Chains A and B, each alone.
Chain A
Amino acid sequence: MQQIIFFFIRNKNFLLFVLLFSASVALTLQTHSYHSNKLVNSANFLSGGVYSFKSSITEYFDLKEQNQLLINENNRLRQLLEVQKEIGSVTYLDSLDTSFPFHFVPAKVINNSYFKTKNKLTINKGRTDSLDIDMGVITSLGVVGIVDDVSANYATVQSILNTNSQINAKLKKSEHFGTLEWNTKTPNMVSLTYIPRIAKVSVGDTVSTGGKSTIFPEDILIGAVAQFTLNEGDDYYDITVELFNDMTNLKHVYVIENTNSEEIQLLENGGDDDAE
């Protein structure tokens, strides 16, 4: 205790100076808003730095929730986007308007395979979520496949990497359409057939869905042309398409319901008017 008092007595001038100087500076900072602003700014720089470091660690704890929120928002926006493509303006059309045929349901992939010749995925939505067979399945990057079988709460999807899979696709720039099939060689390359020789093809051209089937709406991305050949005697190109999707790590997908599909198919099959 005595040491402290001695310390104070020995340095009384310095301490007095420090005290009064701090008082004056504090008074200055308080009086001028520019000064106090600068002080607050530099304090913010320090506190901001510490807080952003802390939040970069704690944000890992609610990733799951954030992901779900983002998926829901994506779904909503995708719906709006499809509507806008159809109509050209979203100001008056409610995205849940039943006159618009495509509805999107988000789902998660719980099982996947990509190394067999007939690959299937399992998703965690089923009949209770209004899924049905022959619905298209896509991700934000591109096409995944078509729903194969549906149970109450789950569904299996026939992946694009399946020898049975035949998806209507077109060259985005020229609207020439053909069929997408898989040659079982690699999980990220599929072949586009039936593109006639008068079409102009170059490497890097985008391939998207053609819209000529009731399963996928038009202009959903699939991939880009990786290479193509046209032999002299052929009527059609031999195009290899590299998928935008990485089929090996699929997680969040959207299932597309086309409310007009039944009607269109009935019409195309020329069947009797068996309205139910």
Chain B
Amino acid sequence: MQNNEIVVNTVRFIAVVLFQILLFNHINFLGYINPYVYIVFILVFPLTSSKSLLILLSFILGLTIDMFGDSGGIHAAACVFIGYIRPAVLKFSFGVSYEYNTIKISKANFGQQFTYVGLMVVLHHLVLFSLEIFSTEHILLVLKSTLFSGIFSTILILCTILLFSKKS
């Protein structure tokens, strides 16, 4: 039902933002690695909804995180990018079938899940760190941060999806 969806998604939105800013932003593993788990919102957003809505919501999500982190618009930019590119990545990892059948991500094949999550995370982090560092000389730093944060985020996101799927 539409109403139910809206409520569920709103709750998800708020929960994800709170967890990110209160918990995950302060981990600072090895001094600088932070997982960015909030993008799970974009990843599990209903597959049948309108794409424009998704793009808009990802922008708002990223902007909210930015506001709490004083980082300007880097999260917003990265999330918008992710939101726009999601259909393409879904098609790549799950095959064309996702458009016709309602595939639940949590029920899908692990390999497909991993591809989807991993790809989205890497793309998101790439845009994020490129914007943050904003210099072509430090490309190695960008790649390094992307890799390490990416691994961390992917693991956490997969765990989250696993956690919240057993309920239904």
Give the chain B neighbours of A23 by CB distance below 8 A.
59, 73, 76
Cβ of B78 to closest chain A Cβ, rounded Å: 8
A38 pairs with B135, CB closer than 8 A: yes
Contact of B48 with A by CB under 8 A:
no
B59 pairs with A13, CB closer than 8 A: no
Contact of B123 with A by CB under 8 A:
no
Interface string of A26-63 (1 = CB under 8 A from B): 11111110110010000000000000000000000000
Q: Which of A13, A27, A38 contacts B72 (CB 8 A)?
A: A27
Query: What are 18 inter-chain pairs, A to B, with CB distance below 8 A?
Result: A12-B52, A13-B55, A17-B55, A17-B80, A20-B76, A20-B80, A21-B77, A21-B80, A21-B84, A23-B73, A24-B63, A25-B73, A26-B73, A27-B66, A27-B73, A28-B131, A34-B134, A35-B134
Give the chain A neighbours of B74 by CB distance below 8 A.
24, 28
Interface of B is mostly: helix
Provided the pairs A23-B76, A38-B134 are in contact, do residues A31 and B56 lie with their beta carbons within 8 angstroms? no
Q: How far is the CA of A20 from the CA of B72 in the complex (A)?
A: 14
B72 pairs with A28, CB closer than 8 A: yes
A residues within 8 Å of B by Cβ?
12-14, 16-17, 20-21, 23-32, 34-35, 38
Cβ of B166 to closest chain A Cβ, rounded Å: 33
B80 pairs with A31, CB closer than 8 A: no
A24 pairs with B134, CB closer than 8 A: no
Q: How far is the CA of A223 from the CA of B51 in the complex (A)?
A: 84
Cβ of A19 to closest chain B Cβ, rounded Å: 9
Please report the number of residue pairs spanning A and B whose Cβ atoms sit closer than 8 angstroms.
61
Q: How far is the CA of A20 from the CA of B131 in the complex (A)?
A: 15
Provided the pairs A14-B84, A38-B134, A38-B135 are in contact, do residues A24 and B76 lie with their beta carbons within 8 angstroms? yes
A31 pairs with B81, CB closer than 8 A: no
A32 pairs with B80, CB closer than 8 A: no
Give the chain B neighbours of A28 by CB distance below 8 A.
71-74, 77, 131
Q: Which residue of B lies closest to A26 (CB)?
A: B73
Q: Which of B59, B70, B72, B84 contacts A29 (CB 8 A)?
A: B72
Cβ of A10 to closest chain B Cβ, rounded Å: 13
Which residue, A14, A23, A25, A38, has most C-beta atoms of chain B within 10 A? A25
B71 pairs with A24, CB closer than 8 A: no
Give the chain A neighbours of B131 by CB distance below 8 A.
25, 28
B52 pairs with A24, CB closer than 8 A: no
Q: How far is the CA of A31 from the CA of B76 in the complex (A)?
A: 13
Contact of B150 with A by CB under 8 A:
no
Give the chain A neighbours of B35 by CB distance below 8 A.
none
